[in-house]
A = this chain, B = another copy of it.
């Protein structure tokens, strides 16, 4: 056997791939209605359950949505930024946990990307973004806030910063990445929670955004990254000591 020829894929896989290709290449446009399940079954020479499995695959990727009834059927879905982001988050989260991505690596990637949009955020931030950041800082300053809510507020703060860059593509990419790393981040802040220092750095970031000082913003982000990594290595060391 020269090359381990890939095992012949299932019919439902093939059909899903064919339809996916039709959508991605634009042969099927947003809003277009796919043939009914019965018609597809006849076209591809398979039974309805097989066609349905193919359609479910596409539905899982938000490529189509289905509606019952007389004018129902499967329609090419308009992929919203939100839906795409949700998918990216689950994928990235799983990827990070399954591949045992280290805290260092995740942290580095996250801050590198966030710093990438800091200059844009400083240049274009609107009052609404500043308000969101200030509101989250206020929440974080409340000692009664639970750990979970503190972390959620942390994410919301950084999302506001990213959104301030005014680039939906950046927001989509970044928000997915930041959100995916949340579990790892939680692991740290739950154990070593010096909230005052974090709030202080958030204030520095928000202040830099307000005065539109890209350099100050970058410096504050760098400081936050350094501090986060310090926390991380401390926690890792403690954990290693416990396992010894």
> Residues of A at under 8 Å CB distance from B?
12, 16, 20, 23-24, 26, 30, 49, 52-54, 56-61, 63, 78-81, 84, 87-88, 90-99, 101, 105-106, 108-109, 112-113, 115-117, 120, 165, 167-170, 172-173, 177
Minimum CB–CB distance for A150 against chain B, Å: 21
Closest Cβ–Cβ distance, residue A53 to chain B (whole Å): 5
A59, A87, A94, A106 interface centre (most CB from chain B within 10 Å): A94
Residue of B61, B63, B106 near A61 (CB, 8 A) is B61
A99 with B79: in contact, given A109-B169, A112-B170 (CB under 8 Å)?
A: yes
A118 to chain B, nearest CB (A): 10
Say yes or no: A87 contacts B91, CB within 8 Å. yes
A78 to B98 CA separation, bound complex (whole angstroms): 7
Which residues of chain B come closer than 8 Å to A30, judged between CB atoms? Answer: 98
Distance A103 CA – B56 CA, assembled complex (angstroms):
33
* Contact of A112 (CB < 8 Å), options: B88, B95, B105, B117: B117
Chain B residues near A172 (CB-CB < 8 A): 92, 95
A81 nearest CB across to chain B (Å): 7
Cα of A31 to Cα of B171 in the assembled complex, Å: 34
B169 touches A101 (CB 8 A): yes
Does A91 contact B88, Cβ atoms closer than 8 Å?
A: yes
Q: Contacts A101-B169, A105-B168 given; indicate if A90 touches B56 (C-beta within 8 A).
A: no
Contact partner of A59 (CB less than 8 A), chosen from B57, B98, B99, is: B57
Indicate if the CB atoms of A169 and B53 lie closer than 8 Å. Answer: no
Partner of A116, one of B59, B88, B116: B116
